[in-house]
Structure 1
Amino acid sequence: MDDNSRTARWERWAGIPLGVASLVYLGSYAVWVLGEDLPQPVRDLFLAVMAASWALFVVDYAVRWSLSGQRLHFVHRHWLDTVVVVLPLLRPVRVVRVYDALQQRRGERPTMSLQGRVILYAGLSTGLLGFACSLSVYRFEHTAPNATIRTFGDSLWWAASTLSTVGYGDVAPVTLPGRLVAAVLMGCGLALLGAVTGSFSSYLMQRFARGEDEERPPGS
Structure 2
Amino acid sequence: MTEQRWQQVSEWPLMLAAVAFLGAYAWTVLGPPVGASAQFAGLIMWVTWVVFAGDFVVRLGLAPRPGRWLLRHLHELAMVVLPMFRPLRLLRLLRLLRLVTLLGVLQRSAGAAVRGRVVLYAAGSTLMLLIISSLAMLDAERGAPGASIETYPQALWWSTVTVTTVGYGDFSPVTITGRAIAVALMVAGIALLGVITATLASWLVERVGEQDEANQAATRAQVADLAAEIAALRAQLSTHDARDR
What TM-score bracket applies, with the shorter chain setting the length? 0.7 to 0.9
Q: What runs of 5+ residues in structure 2 fail to find an aligned partner?
A: 221-245
Tell me the number of residue pairs that the alignment of Structure 1 and Structure 2 aligns.
211
Q: Map of 1:4-153 to 2, 5 A cutoff?
A: 6-36=2-32, 38-78=33-73, 81=76, 85=80, 87-98=85-96, 111=106, 113-153=113-153
- Structure 1 distance, partners of 2:207, 2:78, is 36
1:96 maps to amino acid: L
1:80–1:122: structure 2 CA closer, same or farther, 3 Å change rule?
Answer: farther
> Which deviates further from its counterpart, 90-99 or 190-199?
190-199
- Structure 2 distance, partners of 1:102, 1:133, is 22
The structure with the largest alpha-carbon Rg is 2
For residue 211 of structure 1, report the CA deviation from its aligned partner.
4.5
1:90 maps to amino acid: L
For residue 83 of structure 1, report the CA deviation from its aligned partner.
6.0
1:13–1:146: structure 2 CA closer, same or farther, 3 Å change rule?
Answer: same
Once superposed, what is the RMSD of the aligned Cα atoms?
3.1
User: How does the TM-score come out when normalised to structure 2?
Assistant: 0.71
% of aligned pairs identical?
Answer: 34
Q: Deviations over 1:179-204 (max 9, x none)?
A: 22212222233224423432343344
1:215–1:13: structure 2 CA closer, same or farther, 3 Å change rule?
Answer: farther
Retained in 2: the 8 A contact 1:119–1:200?
no
Q: What runs of 5+ residues in structure 1 fail to find an aligned partner?
A: none
For residue 9 of structure 1, report the CA deviation from its aligned partner.
2.9
1:200–1:10: structure 2 CA closer, same or farther, 3 Å change rule?
Answer: farther
Tell me which protein shows more helix as a share of its residues. 2
2:88 maps to amino acid: L
1:8–1:217: structure 2 CA closer, same or farther, 3 Å change rule?
Answer: same
* More RCO (CA 8 Å, sep 6+): 1
Retained in 1: the 8 A contact 2:140–2:177?
yes
2:170 corresponds in structure 1 to 170
Retained in 2: the 8 A contact 1:21–1:53?
yes
